[in-house]
Amino acid sequence: MMSVGDEDWLPHMEDLEAYISREELVSIFPNLTNEQANYILTVLSSIHNGTINPQASAEPVPPEHASCNVGFRDSYKEIHGYLAVVICVLGSITNVLNMIILTRREMINSTNTILTGLAVADFMLLVEYSSYAASYIRGQEDMFDSYYHSVFILFHAHFTQVTHTIAICLTITLAVWRYIAICKPHLNLFLCTLPRARMAVLVAYVISPILSVPNYLMYSIHQQYDKRRNESLYHVDFSERAKNGPLQTVHFWLYSVIIKILPCILLTILIMLIIRAMYIAKRRKENLIKMGTPSMEADRKLPRMEKLTEKTTKMLLTVLLLFLVTELPQGILSLLSGIFGHAFFVQCYHHWGEVMDLLALINGAVNFFLYYIMSHQFRLTFRYFLHPPPPLNLSPRIPGETVSTQL
């Protein structure tokens, strides 16, 4: 521990005296360590440049929020980048396969059109996040403080918000589609058509960037001059609009409640209604079997069609449940951050942020495996895509006949 009057402290004294006189420093901090002086200098410089709000920094942190920090993030963040890159690369490949298989002629229908739109959104999210995860792995302090890296971080925050909102809209659309098919079959033929499905996908891709406008205004790039390094440092922080206006409130209600919590509640209700309708249909089928067996040819085909519909519904329910499981924790943490303020965001949401990101990446990467395991038609189409059957010769040649070709 060293005194502020020692000769080794002269460079620090010159910097600190730009904010506080030497006499005040000596009286307040008679014994100041090198680390403490560096911290104080950084904070004072940030406050002077307007990059830190002293009132927000002085906000009391409730002790109960500290229980969120269990030391997990310190050990996990060392491997987060590597796990994210692996999942993003694998998920990008599987979503390309989803787009190829689901757009084959024999696979085109209204439900698969929505799943294709979901695969495109997941693909864009995974590709962009892979570059962020790569910078997370090989990032150095100089790169993190650069202007170009701040621009990339700002783009990353906005792009992931837009693509994630698209995925949420399409997942809710898929749940509504399946609810109509199972619970309101008389409306299915003219409501859940292929043109309507294409329009629903288009609306999701158009409206999501518009819903993300408050997120664009929430953050901006801030410049801070570091006298020790004699260079300007850049970082992403809340914009002046967010600090001095109602934008944070609007952002909280739109992002945490309308885009996060409300879809989870709606999805939960739709899943429960679909499961209930499937249970009722199963009981009705069992009662019909007890009453007698069908004799007509059309009636004999009916159980097979019902079985295919049931398998498809189970597969889609698995997709919806997986989305709900990965989305609900993030929605709850976002809601609590808005209720309890900055202290909860720093000590809880920020602590589990990488885990929430990893869950979202897994959700966007595993749909291909769900389709392959639970859909016979998807498996068959995928196998034909890998090993197409030889073309059939429907016009056999007459023996001795010659065939001419033109290039």
pLDDT tens, residue by residue, 308-322: 677 888 888 889 999
- Asked if residue 63 lies in contact with residue 343, where contact means CB atoms within 8 angstroms, the answer is no
- Would you say residue 313 lies in a domain? yes
**pLDDT given at position 18:** 56
The answer on 302 and 193 residing in a single domain is yes
178 or 393: which leads in pLDDT: 178
**pLDDT given at position 159:** 94
141 or 237: which leads in pLDDT: 237
pLDDT of residue 15 exceeding 80, the answer is: no
The answer on 37 and 88 residing in a single domain is no
- Would you say residue 394 lies in a domain? no
- Would you say residue 393 lies in a domain? no
pLDDT of residue 44 exceeding 90, the answer is: no
The answer on 87 and 15 residing in a single domain is no
pLDDT band at 112 (very low <50, low <70, confident <90, very high): very high
Least confident among 69-73, 152-156, 286-290, 351-355:
69-73
The whole-angstrom separation of Cα 282 and Cα 287 is: 9
Q: Name the residue range of residue 304's domain.
A: 80-287+296-384
Mean pLDDT of 193-206: 95
Task: Give pLDDT tens digits for 33-42.
Answer: 555 555 565 6
The answer on 100 and 166 residing in a single domain is yes
pLDDT band at 282 (very low <50, low <70, confident <90, very high): confident
pLDDT of residue 306 exceeding 80, the answer is: no
pLDDT band at 225 (very low <50, low <70, confident <90, very high): confident
**pLDDT given at position 393:** 59
**pLDDT given at position 52:** 44
Around 112, how many Cα atoms within 13 Å sit in the side-chain half-sphere?
A: 18
The answer on 371 and 250 residing in a single domain is yes
**pLDDT given at position 33:** 56
pLDDT of residue 295 exceeding 50, the answer is: no
- Would you say residue 392 lies in a domain? no
Percent of the chain topping pLDDT 70: 71
Around 243, how many Cα atoms within 13 Å sit in the side-chain half-sphere?
A: 14
The whole-angstrom separation of Cα 346 and Cα 329 is: 16
- Would you say residue 403 lies in a domain? no
Percent of the chain topping pLDDT 90: 27
The answer on 163 and 40 residing in a single domain is no
pLDDT of residue 20 exceeding 90, the answer is: no
The answer on 40 and 124 residing in a single domain is no
The answer on 111 and 41 residing in a single domain is no
| Cβ partners under 8 Å of residue 87, min gap 6 | 126, 358, 361, 362, 365
User: Per the structure block, which two tokens stand in for 9?
Assistant: 């402290």
- Would you say residue 401 lies in a domain? no
Q: Tell me the C-alpha to C-alpha distance, in Å, between residue 289 and each of 286, 292, 305.
A: 5, 5, 16
The answer on 209 and 126 residing in a single domain is yes
- Would you say residue 60 lies in a domain? no
pLDDT band at 172 (very low <50, low <70, confident <90, very high): very high
Task: Give pLDDT tens digits for 385-405.
Answer: 888 877 665 555 555 554 443
Average pLDDT, the chain: 77
The whole-angstrom separation of Cα 227 and Cα 41 is: 10
**pLDDT given at position 240:** 79
The answer on 137 and 42 residing in a single domain is no
Residue carrying structure tokens 């698995």: 318
**pLDDT given at position 144:** 61
**pLDDT given at position 219:** 84
**pLDDT given at position 130:** 92
The answer on 268 and 206 residing in a single domain is yes
**pLDDT given at position 406:** 39
Assign residue 195 the CATH number of its domain: 1.20.1070.10
pLDDT of residue 142 exceeding 60, the answer is: no
**pLDDT given at position 350:** 75
Q: How many domains does the chain contain in total?
A: 2
pLDDT band at 143 (very low <50, low <70, confident <90, very high): low
The answer on 378 and 314 residing in a single domain is yes
**pLDDT given at position 296:** 44
- Would you say residue 406 lies in a domain? no
207 or 72: which leads in pLDDT: 207
